[in-house]
Amino acid sequence: MSLSLVMKGIKGVTARELNRRRRRKGPIWQDESYDRIVRNQSELIEKLNYMLLNSVKAGLTDNPWTYVGWYFKGKKE
Protein backbone atom coordinates (compact mmCIF):
# COMPACT_ATOMS: atom_id res chain seq x y z
CA MET A 1 0.00 0.00 0.00
CA SER A 2 1.42 3.41 -0.92
CA LEU A 3 1.96 6.27 1.50
CA SER A 4 -0.34 8.39 -0.65
CA LEU A 5 -3.20 5.93 -0.21
CA VAL A 6 -2.63 5.66 3.54
CA MET A 7 -2.65 9.45 3.90
CA LYS A 8 -5.81 9.74 1.83
CA GLY A 9 -7.55 7.34 4.20
CA ILE A 10 -6.32 9.10 7.34
CA LYS A 11 -7.28 12.51 6.00
CA GLY A 12 -10.72 11.32 4.90
CA VAL A 13 -11.63 9.78 8.24
CA THR A 14 -10.30 12.65 10.34
CA ALA A 15 -11.85 15.34 8.12
CA ARG A 16 -15.28 13.75 8.42
CA GLU A 17 -14.95 13.48 12.20
CA LEU A 18 -13.64 17.02 12.64
CA ASN A 19 -16.42 18.45 10.46
CA ARG A 20 -19.00 16.45 12.39
CA ARG A 21 -17.72 17.70 15.74
CA ARG A 22 -17.44 21.29 14.55
CA ARG A 23 -20.78 21.14 12.73
CA ARG A 24 -19.10 22.33 9.54
CA LYS A 25 -18.55 21.15 5.99
CA GLY A 26 -15.63 21.43 3.66
CA PRO A 27 -11.96 20.59 3.39
CA ILE A 28 -9.74 20.28 6.45
CA TRP A 29 -6.44 19.09 5.00
CA GLN A 30 -4.19 20.35 2.24
CA ASP A 31 -4.20 18.24 -0.93
CA GLU A 32 -0.52 17.35 -1.07
CA SER A 33 1.29 14.79 1.00
CA TYR A 34 4.94 13.90 0.81
CA ASP A 35 7.43 12.11 2.94
CA ARG A 36 10.78 13.52 3.96
CA ILE A 37 13.59 12.04 6.00
CA VAL A 38 14.38 13.95 9.17
CA ARG A 39 18.14 14.17 9.02
CA ASN A 40 19.15 15.05 12.59
CA GLN A 41 17.90 15.87 16.07
CA SER A 42 17.73 19.63 15.51
CA GLU A 43 15.51 19.11 12.45
CA LEU A 44 13.30 16.74 14.45
CA ILE A 45 12.89 19.35 17.19
CA GLU A 46 12.08 21.98 14.56
CA LYS A 47 9.33 19.78 13.06
CA LEU A 48 7.89 18.87 16.48
CA ASN A 49 7.75 22.54 17.50
CA TYR A 50 6.02 23.38 14.23
CA MET A 51 3.37 20.72 14.89
CA LEU A 52 3.03 21.70 18.55
CA LEU A 53 2.34 25.34 17.74
CA ASN A 54 -0.15 24.71 14.92
CA SER A 55 -3.08 24.62 17.36
CA VAL A 56 -2.00 27.96 18.86
CA LYS A 57 -1.62 29.59 15.43
CA ALA A 58 -5.07 28.31 14.46
CA GLY A 59 -6.57 29.85 17.61
CA LEU A 60 -7.68 26.48 18.97
CA THR A 61 -5.81 26.80 22.27
CA ASP A 62 -3.55 29.07 24.27
CA ASN A 63 -1.61 26.13 25.69
CA PRO A 64 -0.63 23.53 23.10
CA TRP A 65 0.53 21.04 25.77
CA THR A 66 -3.05 20.69 27.03
CA TYR A 67 -4.69 20.72 23.59
CA VAL A 68 -6.61 17.48 23.10
CA GLY A 69 -5.28 17.13 19.54
CA TRP A 70 -1.63 17.07 20.66
CA TYR A 71 -0.61 13.50 21.32
CA PHE A 72 3.09 13.86 22.15
CA LYS A 73 3.73 14.03 25.89
CA GLY A 74 7.49 14.47 25.86
CA LYS A 75 9.71 16.61 28.04
CA LYS A 76 8.61 20.27 28.24
CA GLU A 77 11.42 22.80 27.96
Quick: pLDDT tens for 60-73. Answer: 899 988 888 776 66
Listed by start position, the domains of the chain span 1-35, 37-77
For the segment 37-52, the average pLDDT, to the nearest whole number, is 91
How many angstroms separate the most distant Cα atoms in the chain? 40
- Give the Cα separation of 48 and 75 in Å (integer): 12
- Give the Cα separation of 1 and 49 in Å (integer): 30
Q: Model-level pTM greater than 0.85?
A: no
Amino acid present at 8:
K
